[in-house]
């Protein structure tokens, strides 16, 4: 697994498109938030992927640099925390530990 790709949060502005007859229209853009693994970046755009594996990526999005308003690197916690409170039910069990299947 390629764990060298940073996970980033990006706030950006997207273009809006519509079609069909309308009386009047106001100019607008849509603010967006995207979180993904930074696959590539250059002066024109960055490429984020939602999924990475050994050598492949999936669900890539290319965002123009000029559209980006804010970005920051996210840290991923990899250590398992000790649970505070009740133990979670086993998979396939309800909160009262009864089986969910009939």
Residue 94 DSSP symbol:
-
Residue ranges making up the domain that contains 12:
7-16+28-74
What confidence score (pLDDT) does residue 96 get? 59
Residue 98 lies in a domain: no
Residue 41 lies in a domain: yes
Residue 35 lies in a domain: yes
Q: pTM of whole model > 0.85?
A: no
Residue 102 lies in a domain: no
Total domains in the fold of the chain: 1
Give one DSSP letter per residue of 36-71, joined into a string.
Answer: EEEEEE-SSEEEEEEEE-SS-EEEEEEEEGGGEEEE
Confidence of residue 99 (pLDDT cuts 50, 70, 90): low
| Spatial contact of 56 and 2, defined as CB atoms under 8 Å apart | no
Could you give the 3-state DSSP secondary structure of residue 17? coil
């Amino acid at each position: 697994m390629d764990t060298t790709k940073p996970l980033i949060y990006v706030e950006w502005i997207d273009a809006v498109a519509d079609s069909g007859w309308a009386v009047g229209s106001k100019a607008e853009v849509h603010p967006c938030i995207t979180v993904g693994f930074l696959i590539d970046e250059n002066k024109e755009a960055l490429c984020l992927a939602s999924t990475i594996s050994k050598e492949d990526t999936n669900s890539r999005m290319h965002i123009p640099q000029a559209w980006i308003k804010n970005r920051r690197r996210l840290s991923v916690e990899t250590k398992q925390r000790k649970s505070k409170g009740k133990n979670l039910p086993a998979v396939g069990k309800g909160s009262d530990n009864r089986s969910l299947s009939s």
